[in-house]
Amino acid sequence: MEQTKQLLESIKKGIQEKKGQGIVVADLSGIDGTICHYFVICQGNSPSQVEAITDSVGEFARKELGEKPVHVVGLENAQWVAMDYTDVLVHIFLPDVREYYDLEHLWDDAKLTRIPDLD
């Protein structure tokens, strides 16, 4: 579990490096039948920023922990990119797409931690 906590920290740094906003960590570890332990949800203001955040998250995780995502989907249009690190799923949205899918409320029983935006 310590490795997962370190991965969460690297992911957060990668998002913040590219000025990603609205970071929310959903702790799913206490919920039966979930596909992972954590969701990390954030947004970028344009497809190019979503792509830059995706690259930054991947770089931080690789450099700091030697971790690579098992799958990355959504880069074709960069409106919603999902990065699968097995125990952690990272979701990087455009604002309107994030609002539409509303993943934070999909997991009402998860503990949500909101990370303040950097100035």
Residue 34 CA to residue 22 CA, distance in Å, equals 23
Summarize pLDDT for 17-72 with one digit per residue, the tens. 999 999 999 999 988 888 899 999 999 999 999 999 999 999 999 999 999 999 99
Task: Determine contact, residues 84/76, Cβ cutoff 8 Å.
Answer: no
Q: Residues 6 or more apart from 59 whose CB is under 8 A from it?
A: 14
Give the other-Cβ count within 10 Å of 75's Cβ.
Answer: 15
Q: Of 50, 74, 72, give the one whose Cα is nearest residue 61.
A: 72
pTM for the predicted model, two decimal places: 0.95
Please report which helix (H) or strand (E) contains residue 22, including its range.
strand 21-27
